[in-house]
Chains A and B, each alone.
Chain A
């Protein structure tokens, strides 16, 4: 039994791609790209959120502390970073709505007989269009954010 467990554990380890497999966006089509972007944007937004909570805490240090913290974002680099935040948050939100709809089986179609070439009915253009809409919305939001940040208003 012990040998069986050890062998099974080794097989599991050998089949596991780990982070390399997680980061590989080249297989499985648009859904894989969406999966990959959802996780990367989520991680980025979590880091930004923690940084934002820390950044705004400078308020309690008075006007000088606030202004010196704010100065970090008032540079072209800071603006580009904020544009990235706008784009990633828009994609994450729109794609998240698509995933909620998919979880509740909306837009997936009805399961059919598994005939060759075994294309899954759920991976159709209707639900896939959500990925493209999320990407277009992210680009539009970045453009709008850029026009405000670099517009000098």
Chain B
């Protein structure tokens, strides 16, 4: 008997080693797609690239809208899992870990939902 703070390994949804693999894969994936996203801003003069018509035209291109959705999903997973890791480093007990996991999952889904709404509406403008 070491402590009551250690959770039963079978009670977790995913092993932490699997979560870390997801963290690394989403990080590397995000690095690649964000690079394409930034390049799209630099193929025309920077000030022109942010004009309303230019941005809307970008959203109307299906592959670019899909790219934005991929960026949204990858960074949301990576970012909120990173936040979860930091919060769990600060304090460890079963209730806190459960709260942090639920909170970060909910926040991640909310950001993905809100961003997807923008992409879908802007794609149809």
Instruction: Given A46-B80, A100-B24, A153-B47, verify A67-B122 contact (CB < 8 Å).
Output: no
Is B114 a contact partner of A57 (Cβ separation < 8 A)?
A: yes
Task: Determine the residue in chain A with the shortest Cβ distance to B24.
Answer: A100
Instruction: Given A5-B4, A100-B28, A148-B46, verify A43-B90 contact (CB < 8 Å).
Output: no
* B50 contacts A by Cβ under 8 Å: yes
Is B118 a contact partner of A46 (Cβ separation < 8 A)?
A: no
Interface bracket on A: 20 to 34
B50 to chain A: which residues have CB within 8 Å?
A: 70
Report the separation of the CA atoms of residues A96 and B111 in the bound assembly, to the nearest whole angstrom. Answer: 23
* A132 contacts B by Cβ under 8 Å: no
Which DSSP category, helix, strand, loop or mixed, fits chain A's interface?
helix
4 nearest interchain CB pairs?
A: A46-B79, A57-B118, A63-B52, A60-B121
Instruction: Given A43-B86, A67-B52, verify A60-B79 contact (CB < 8 Å).
Output: no
* A117 contacts B by Cβ under 8 Å: no
Task: Determine the residue in chain A with the shortest Cβ distance to B3.
Answer: A8
A53 to chain B: which residues have CB within 8 Å?
A: 72, 111, 114-115, 118
Report the separation of the CA atoms of residues A103 and B28 in the bound assembly, to the nearest whole angstrom. Answer: 14
Instruction: Specify which of A50, A59, A96 is in contact with B118 (CB 8 Å cutoff).
Output: A59
In chain A, residues 14-43, which have Cβ atoms closer than 8 Å to a Cβ of chain B?
18-19, 22, 39, 42-43
